[in-house]
Structure 1
Amino acid sequence: MSPEKHYRACNLCEAICGLEITHQDGKVLRIIGDKADPFSRGHICPKAVGLQEVYEDPDRLRHPLRRTATGWEEISWDTALDEVADRLRQVRARHGAHATAWYAGNPTVHNSGTQLAAPGFLKALGSRHLFSASSVDQLPHHFAAWQLFGHPLLLPVPDLDRTDYWLILGANPLVSNGSLMTAPDVGKRLQAIGDRGGKVVVIDPRRTETAAHADEHHFIRPGTDVFLLLAMTQVLFAESLVRLGRLAEFTDGLAELQAAVAAFTPERAAGITGVEAATIRRLARELAAAGRGVCYGRVGVSVQEFGGLCLWLVSVLNALTGHLDEPGGYMFATPALDLLGNPQLYERYNRFQSRVRGVPEFMGELPVACLAEEMLTPGPGQLRALVTSCGNPVLSTPNGRQLDQALESLDFMVSIDIYLNETTRHAHYILPPATGLETAHYDVSFHALAIRNTARYSEPLFAKSPAQRYDWEIFEGLRQRLEADTYDPATATPPENPEAKVDLGLRYGTYGKAGLSVAALREAPHGLDLGPLLPRLPQALRTAGQRLHLAPPLLLADLARARKALAAPSALADGQLSLVSRRELRSNNSWMHNLPRLIKGRPRCTLHLHPVDAAARHLTDGQLVRVRSRVGSIELPVELSDRMMPGVASMPHGYGHQRAGVRLAVASQQAGASINDLTDEARLDVLTGNAALSGVPVWVEPVK
């Protein structure tokens, strides 16, 4: 058989780049960018080859595993699903429905089978103890969207292809290709802004890869972005630069907002942020004067103690400068498959609280920073069982060592995952789904966050083996067993393929009347361009009376914390540094460290320090150092870099593969250390429940 070409989207990160895969006789020969993809236009990053390496990885699990006293054993799917459902029922009968928790990792939203089938299983499980990676890095975005626009999934994105001024806080889109902003080939899009005479400004405690290509970069002390944003807002009011434009017809809270920010002057912000007052004023004026401009903040402003306020103020700045819902500004996609559902007012907040700390629920979830304590603290309601789906929270959530300990204490645990990793090694059963090149896929979430309206359906390249199950078959199999008093696979209803849900969503969506469906997308293997972002307000608002609320009471009340912090900023102890994470182009999740072409080269799990901080500690480049925080300590090499703000240290996330019982041959050769053995589960944005991972106080010292 001669070589053939297959086209699909890469689902390893949010960029959803189009791929052209040359294959022959069940083997991948080459993966390149699909030049006919109207969105990614031939661009791919190094991660794209990871699809081949995941498919071929000898460590990838292909059969259900059951843990025994002598090790892991392979079992049949019917046996695995029967026994898992039975164990879950036993926990429910003995300890109640809420004694079992669920954790969904980041790849959940990168797999439409999991995303669309898991809710049915969760309903059958019946527990309110739901946790996910969302409370590690993005709940503030959802909270601000809910408060301002009426729904946590109504998330605006920068209209990059038409903007002339881009202010970036705490984001590195040249490496991430956008986050909560689907934007493949940010490099060319950055260049295009410059080519049309525009300007890019980056605010970050590290001179990132994006900052290196920007017109300006300004250091800022970790965790203080809220004061910069408040001061910029204050300048807009003080200098009469507010221009709501057509938003004025349906906007409330302007006077309350002006009064709330009046005391947050640039001079006061300069002292705590490290950004000069004159610079703060100039940035506010430039954003206001830009014909087409946008302010954008991501992980760096989300994973701090004022994350909710930060993301609220990002939208506020865009609204006040006339850039919200306008071309070149902060706009809303019109997705072909809309996740928002019915137009009722959204009320999924604080309906219950976590048992130990009393942290409110939001979006049906509790903060993952509370997960371990809910397992370790005795008493009524203690968690006794856990189901994880494509996640590795031991490496990706705060105080991973504590969670490691907590998982050992469970009565029962099952993981739906393709790897035996740092988390799943604690499971009693591992159920590995078919993955990547073996699956059909529609990017339910990321088309809704794209900087241009697009749609694409990816067909499987290779058929799964008869011994494998799709993710949706696993969830449906468990759901049916949990719902039935007795279950007979011979007479059970076949599990519903999520393709039917995708097709229904497309047919009844915005473009359905024009004939959009799964069948239509199959006829367009490179994807469809559905046009640029269009103004959608006020019609898209889910608030009462479709009004835009710039001064929601919950957010105004939370300003009291900011006022207190501004009046008495918390200082680092003598010798302490402020720790932040960093994103790598070749990595997105911890499991990518088991892919040879993505992990090869020099070790990347190093601690970046400014030379001044290294000299003060008598450290030299490459030296092994110990980093200590309140919750633990790790060791890793130091790497000197003048790209770091003095007083700040940085290391990547997702490493720490040295734990016993892990079956990751490649990752174990570059095990590194986990930043989440240092991050503190006690540090939260109390408004949203998001973990405050940025700016953790640490000591750095040589290993003697």
Structure 2
Amino acid sequence: MENGTHYRTCHLCEAMCGVAIEMKDGHIASIKGDEEDPLSQGHICPKAVALKDLHEDADRLRKPVRRTDNGWQEMEWDEAFDLVADKLHQTRKEHGRNSVGVYLGNPNVHNHGSLVATMPFLRAIGTQNRFSATSNDQLPHMLASLEMFGHQVLFPIPDIDNTDLFICIGANPMASNGSLMTVPDFRGRIKRMKGRGGKLVVVDPRRTETAKLADQFHFIRPGSDALLLMAMVHTLFAEDLVNLGPAEHLVKDADLLRLASLAFTPEAVSQHTGIAADEIRNLARQLASTPKAALYTRMGTSTQAFGGVATWLAYCLNILTGKLDTPGAMLFTQPAIDLVTLGAMAGQHGHFGKRHSRVKGLPEFAGEYPASTMADEILTPGEGQVRAFVTVAGNPVLSSPNGKRLEQAFSGLEFMVSVDYYLNETTRHADVILPPTAALERSHYDLIFSMFAVRNFAKYSEPLFDAGPDSRHDWQILLELAHRLEKRRKGGRLPLRSELGWRAFKQVGPDPILDLLLRTGPYGSDAGRVRGLVQPAIDLVMDVLPTRHPLRGLANLSPLNRRWKALPKGLSLPALKDNPNGVDLGPLQPSLPDRLFTRDGRINLAPRLYLQDLDRLHEHLAQPATDTLVLIGRRHVRSNNSWMHNSQRLVKGKDRCTLMIHPKDASRLGLQAGDSAEISAETRKIVLPVEITEDLMPGVVSIPHGWGHNRQGTGQSVAAAHAGASINDVLSDEQIDPLVGTSVLNGQSVTVKVWRPERQRKRA
């Protein structure tokens, strides 16, 4: 790559920050924020600077390796592809298609090439035993969007640049830069909101980095968010504060929600939540009385025992107070590549509970079972037992509950392959590791996170470095495996037409597909000159064809649709290459009812599966509040899940993998700052240094997510030197939200005591 400044999007979290990378003599000289990026406007967090470290990491695998009795051995690509395809095909042939399991990690959604290749890869494997990080993360939001709006990824996004009240529950965007809300420079945006007289309100068991910016902060007992939100719903109806606003004629079943909320008075839930009844009423009143307001929830409310109900109620509160489809409140995006509409045209709205897992009977969502049951499906004998496994860009041993049981399961597989460029806590169990190129060696376009951005925006980044002839991109690896598996399934040869199709797909790659999607999207070809010729035909399609006819869907999506007339036009891959800083596509705009995908074109305010789950919430409310210690996770701005710890600049400084505990609890347990504490639940236990802080609610302890690099046989030297301990070695994989199938990562009970190594040695 030639010397000078090159512009890219940082791919390390959801924020899509623009970076300006200065190159000198083939090396990265500096990484700074791109001042001309329309979305991030020069903001970056510390992770962006570590792009250099990840690219230059000596521990990163560059060629395929296989496990041997004498350690890991490099192999050639063709040999590796044949070995993997043979093993997976043989397993499927002997034990059935569901004997192969697949896990997809979070980095896949930051990689448009991997996203394009994933579907043909999964189709070639053919298994129903699919898993991903979804059920440890955003699944409650996806289910609520499916049930209420008709599509699993149609998320309402806070219009934070124009709001006057931002209520943040169970989220820490100062550390995450937003999640299901792509919001670079959250601090700057909140500062500007306050400058126009706005207010930030935070509810959380920990006084987070976000909470420290708040005008109003409330501690809440972990796992009680659904009670708080239901009491706010109760208040709205009891005080006649319901005002549906723009959605008034689209909402149905508001009376069912009113009836469901009757028993959940603020007084009834106060003891369980730890929030005074008057404060609960005040939260509801503030949301109702502020015209431009948004209530936002995330990981803390999602990954708990009532995560499904809590997320649904958060959506309901925004709707009941007229905050849906309102500028300054909650709006739907209109991305350049509209995967929501494209999916709906193909009949892919999402689905839930069409089948259930073999061992625990947990519901699938969009074809995936909850990650918490992966170990069950591998360890439990019987028809359909998983005997071979594929992981793609994931480390579930550290990111899923009961990691030690999961690694026991992986170690007993007949065959395992990982597509990953690190020898980590999960891939060390693989028989073959296929390392893809690093991010700076491939092009980049944010297909997914453009759908969640607080402003419509498009940006394409060309590869910064040449990948080299002996390397493969993720999409090349997945397509090659899919092709070879299809050939074996067909007896060694494919029909000529199918074979030519595979070869063309592998040769073309994802970028021409990207160009086609951009050109045919709402901001695509400038249709001004041809509109007069074809508009009558487009109008005929819109007026005559049935609502759900595929051609009508194409017309809806086309830039010729009158709905998109006011939007900027001419977007294509060459156009984005000519604008390396990105293209601003304008603020979020009201879009209802066109954006709804429900069968009747209305918003389902009270889906029956949520109403049925309220019996469980009633039972919880009827139980006395407990004083046992409960555990929550946390995130740091320098960390992203488990794979950012091999950069020295991101892990240096004071130890961040600590047990946070309130002074009262520390005193009661005889703990002092710097002590080592044993945190346990049943037979699962870890040891961590103690950090005493009043930023934590009494009765709550906190451990960060993604650490635990002390396993033997990994190949990440920096991470191993800053190992920490994994919160998922304590969390049970038996505790899930039975409604959704989400892992309970926040609110599990634990025991904490002083750890004395001399006592442990005597016992040994």
TM-score band by shorter chain is over 0.9
User: For 1:697, which of 717, 742, 749 is the aligned residue?
Assistant: 749
Shift of 1:346: 3.5
Task: Tell me the equivalent position of 1:501.
Answer: 513
Task: Tell me the equivalent position of 2:529.
Answer: none
Shift of 1:271: 1.4
Are 1:653 and 2:708 matched, yes or no?
no
Q: Residues 109 and 445 of structure 1 are in contact (CA less than 8 Å); yes or no, is this contact kept in structure 2?
A: yes
Shift of 1:540: 0.7
For each residue in 1:247-291, what CA deviation from the matched residue of structure 2 results, as whole angstroms up to 9, or x when unmatched? 111110011111111111000110110000000001100110002
SS state of the match for residue 311, structure 2?
Answer: helix
Change (3 A) 1:457 1:384: same
Q: Residues 417 and 431 of structure 1 are in contact (CA less than 8 Å); yes or no, is this contact kept in structure 2?
A: yes
Task: Tell me the equivalent position of 2:538.
Answer: none
Q: Residues 631 and 680 of structure 1 are in contact (CA less than 8 Å); yes or no, is this contact kept in structure 2?
A: no
For each residue in 1:23-53, what CA deviation from the matched residue of structure 2 results, as whole angstroms up to 9, or x when unmatched? 1222000000000001100000000012110
Task: Tell me the equivalent position of 1:332.
Answer: 332
Shift of 1:465: 1.6
User: For 2:471, which of 463, 468, 474 is the aligned residue?
Assistant: 468
For each residue in 1:74-121, what CA deviation from the matched residue of structure 2 results, as whole angstroms up to 9, or x when unmatched? 001111111101100000011000111110111110111111111111
Are 1:387 and 2:390 matched, yes or no?
yes
Are 1:518 and 2:573 matched, yes or no?
yes
Same amino acid, percent of matched pairs = 50
Task: Tell me the equivalent position of 1:447.
Answer: 450
SS state of the match for residue 268, structure 2?
Answer: helix
User: For 2:602, which of 542, 547, 555 is the aligned residue?
Assistant: 547
Query: Match of 2:744, as an amino acid?
Result: A
Matches within 5 A, 1:183-194: 183-194=183-194
1:345 and 1:153 mapped to 2: Cα distance?
11
Shift of 1:181: 0.6
TM-score, length-normalised on structure 2? Answer: 0.90
1:631 and 1:208 mapped to 2: Cα distance?
30
Matches within 5 A, 1:145-294: 145-294=145-294
Larger Rg: 2
For each residue in 1:421-457, what CA deviation from the matched residue of structure 2 results, as whole angstroms up to 9, or x when unmatched? 0000000000000011111011011000000000000
For each residue in 1:575-620, what CA deviation from the matched residue of structure 2 results, as whole angstroms up to 9, or x when unmatched? x411000010100021210011111111110000001100001111
Task: Tell me the equivalent position of 2:593.
Answer: 538
Change (3 A) 1:570 1:355: farther
Query: Match of 1:363, as an amino acid?
Result: A
Task: Tell me the equivalent position of 1:616.
Answer: 668
Number of residue pairs aligned between Structure 1 and Structure 2 = 701
Q: Residues 230 and 261 of structure 2 are in contact (CA less than 8 Å); yes or no, is this contact kept in structure 1?
A: yes
For each residue in 1:394-430, what CA deviation from the matched residue of structure 2 results, as whole angstroms up to 9, or x when unmatched? 0000100100100011111000001000000000000
Query: Match of 2:700, as an amino acid?
Result: V
2:300 and 2:678 mapped to 1: Cα distance?
24
Q: Residues 350 and 365 of structure 2 are in contact (CA less than 8 Å); yes or no, is this contact kept in structure 1?
A: no
Q: Residues 102 and 388 of structure 1 are in contact (CA less than 8 Å); yes or no, is this contact kept in structure 2?
A: yes
SS state of the match for residue 248, structure 2?
Answer: helix
SS state of the match for residue 210, structure 2?
Answer: helix
After alignment, is 304-313 or 506-515 more displaced? Answer: 506-515
Task: Tell me the equivalent position of 1:411.
Answer: 414
Task: Tell me the equivalent position of 1:429.
Answer: 432
1:311 and 1:297 mapped to 2: Cα distance?
7
Q: CA RMSD in A?
A: 1.5
Query: Match of 1:654, as an amino acid?
Result: G
1:111 and 1:245 mapped to 2: Cα distance?
38
SS state of the match for residue 209, structure 1?
Answer: coil
Instruction: List runs of 5+ in structure 2 lacking aligned partners.
Output: 526-568, 757-764
Shift of 1:350: 1.4
2:26 and 2:65 mapped to 1: Cα distance?
26
SS state of the match for residue 635, structure 1?
Answer: strand
1:346 and 1:657 mapped to 2: Cα distance?
39
Task: Tell me the equivalent position of 2:353.
Answer: 350
Task: Tell me the equivalent position of 1:141.
Answer: 141
2:632 and 2:322 mapped to 1: Cα distance?
33
Change (3 A) 1:90 1:208: same
1:621 and 1:75 mapped to 2: Cα distance?
49
Shift of 1:2: 7.8
Instruction: List runs of 5+ in structure 1 lacking aligned partners.
Output: none
After alignment, is 626-635 or 381-390 more displaced? Answer: 626-635
SS state of the match for residue 72, structure 1?
Answer: strand
SS state of the match for residue 237, structure 1?
Answer: helix
Q: Residues 37 and 582 of structure 2 are in contact (CA less than 8 Å); yes or no, is this contact kept in structure 1?
A: yes
Name segments (4+ residues, structure 1) moved above 6 Å.
Answer: none
2:353 and 2:286 mapped to 1: Cα distance?
39
Are 1:587 and 2:636 matched, yes or no?
no
1:285 and 1:224 mapped to 2: Cα distance?
20
Change (3 A) 1:569 1:309: farther
For each residue in 1:314-367, what CA deviation from the matched residue of structure 2 results, as whole angstroms up to 9, or x when unmatched? 111001111111111111110111112234484622111100000111111100
Task: Tell me the equivalent position of 2:717.
Answer: 665
Query: Match of 1:693, as an amino acid?
Result: L
Task: Tell me the equivalent position of 1:457.
Answer: 460
Q: Residues 3 and 24 of structure 1 are in contact (CA less than 8 Å); yes or no, is this contact kept in structure 2?
A: yes
1:294 and 1:194 mapped to 2: Cα distance?
15
TM-score, length-normalised on structure 1? Answer: 0.98
Shift of 1:3: 3.5
Query: Match of 1:509, as an amino acid?
Result: G
Shift of 1:509: 1.3
Q: Residues 151 and 350 of structure 2 are in contact (CA less than 8 Å); yes or no, is this contact kept in structure 1?
A: no
1:71 and 1:678 mapped to 2: Cα distance?
30
1:118 and 1:631 mapped to 2: Cα distance?
38
SS state of the match for residue 406, structure 2?
Answer: helix
Q: Residues 681 and 751 of structure 2 are in contact (CA less than 8 Å); yes or no, is this contact kept in structure 1?
A: yes
User: For 2:681, which of 629, 636, 641 is the aligned residue?
Assistant: 629
1:470 and 1:568 mapped to 2: Cα distance?
53
Q: Residues 707 and 724 of structure 2 are in contact (CA less than 8 Å); yes or no, is this contact kept in structure 1?
A: yes
Query: Match of 1:413, as an amino acid?
Result: M
Shift of 1:381: 1.0
1:399 and 1:508 mapped to 2: Cα distance?
46
Matches within 5 A, 1:281-320: 281-320=281-320
1:24 and 1:96 mapped to 2: Cα distance?
54
SS state of the match for residue 249, structure 1?
Answer: coil
Are 1:677 and 2:706 matched, yes or no?
no
Q: Residues 631 and 677 of structure 1 are in contact (CA less than 8 Å); yes or no, is this contact kept in structure 2?
A: no
Shift of 1:380: 1.1
Q: Residues 399 and 631 of structure 1 are in contact (CA less than 8 Å); yes or no, is this contact kept in structure 2?
A: no
